[in-house]
Each structure stands twice: as C-alpha cells, then as structure tokens.
C-alpha cells in the first residue's frame, strides 16, 4: 500500500492530507493548539482515528501515539552522531534514517521492512511517500512519520 503525505501550504497549525495511490484522500491530519505538537488524524468520514502528541520537558524529543483514544506506544529520538535513529515501544518496530534525514525504513523486531518512507524533493511543502507492506500497519506507520516530521520541525 502506498500513501502520499502532503503538508498543506497555508495553515496556522500543522495540517496534512494523506492520499492513496489513486489520489483519493485517506486521512486528514489537523494540528491542535497545545504545549508541544498535537496532531489529530481523521478518516474520510471525519472520525478521529489517531493522535500523535509530543511529550514536553524531555531531554530528547518524545511523541506518544494513540489509536482511537488508546495509548499504543511512544517514539523517541536516540542520541546519535550521523544517522538519525528512533526508539519505538510500539509493535517492536524501529526506524533507521539516512544522513540527510529524508528517507527512512521502519523495521519489525525480526529486521524485516514494515514500511519505507521517502521525502520528495523540490516541493513547496513537506511531501513524503510511505510504502507499507501490510495495509493494517498503515496508520501506525503514518503516526511514526508524523512524529518524525514534527521532531524535525521542532529542532529547526
């Protein structure tokens, strides 16, 4: 399954549209006014299906993930020198990125790819392509990409 993650050009808070391969909207992500990033994910019917919320006052960035109001895990940036690395306590996954922090691979505990994330260059807004092996993992993979993008935004 392929998802296209596009940030909206004009919005006061973080806003993203998530499309499938056919160009149809699958999810809408809306930022909320809060201390730290808080991103709510809505399906096409307008129901809230997930939330990514930044924990504040931590040494390294941390984001909590919720599916339907239930806590499912946390992603935190690890201290590394060159390649970004994130610790995830959700599904036994881990994320490895490239030096420029544009491309990522999400792997399960056995080392198999769950999803690959590629940033499209030369776009006005942040645009990512998320290739997910199992469509059931798409929402969790999307939440990880949102957390990583929010962490980069906070850092910059």
CB 13 within 8 A of CB 129: no
Q: Which residues pair with 2 in a beta bridge?
A: 131
Residue 35 lies in a domain: yes
pTM of the shown model = 0.87
pLDDT of residue 13: 61
Smallest CA-to-CA distance from 97 within 108, 107, 89, 109 is with 107
Three-class DSSP category at 90: coil
More confident residue, 60 or 145: 145
Count of structural domains within the chain: 1
In Å, what is the CA distance from 149 to each residue of 24, 54, 57?
22, 12, 19
Q: Judge whether residue 113 has pLDDT over 80.
A: yes
Query: Does the residue 65 lie in any domain?
Result: yes
pLDDT at res. 45: 96
Higher pLDDT, 48 or 78: 48
Q: With pLDDT > 70 as the criterion, what percentage of the chain qualifies?
A: 92
Say how far apart CA 129 and CA 40 lie, in whole Å.
20
> For residue 45, is it within any domain?
yes
Please check whether residue 25 lies inside any domain of the structure.
yes
* Residue 71: pLDDT over 90: yes
Range of the domain at 132: 2-75+117-155
What is the structure's pLDDT at 155?
A: 65
Span 37-52, pLDDT tens digits: 899 999 999 999 999 9
Q: Taking residues 113-142, report their average pLDDT.
A: 90
pLDDT of 154 over the 70 cut:
no
In this predicted structure, the answer to whether residue 10 has a pLDDT above a threshold of 60 is: no
């Amino acid at each position: 399954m392929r998802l296209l993650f596009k940030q909206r050009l004009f919005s006061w808070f973080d806003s993203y549209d998530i499309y499938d391969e056919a160009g149809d909207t699958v999810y809408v992500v809306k930022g909320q006014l809060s201390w730290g990033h808080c991103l709510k994910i809505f399906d096409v019917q307008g129901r809230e299906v997930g939330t990514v919320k930044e924990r504040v006052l931590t040494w390294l960035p941390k984001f909590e993930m919720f599916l339907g109001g239930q806590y499912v895990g946390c992603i935190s940036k690890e201290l590394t020198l060159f390649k970004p690395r994130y610790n995830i306590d959700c599904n036994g996954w881990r994320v490895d990125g490239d030096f420029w922090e544009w491309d990522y691979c999400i792997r399960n505990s056995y080392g198999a790819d769950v999803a690959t994330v590629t940033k499209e260059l030369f776009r006005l807004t942040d645009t990512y392509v998320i290739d997910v092996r199992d469509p059931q993992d798409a929402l969790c993979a999307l939440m990880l990409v949102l957390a990583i993008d929010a962490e980069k935004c906070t850092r910059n």
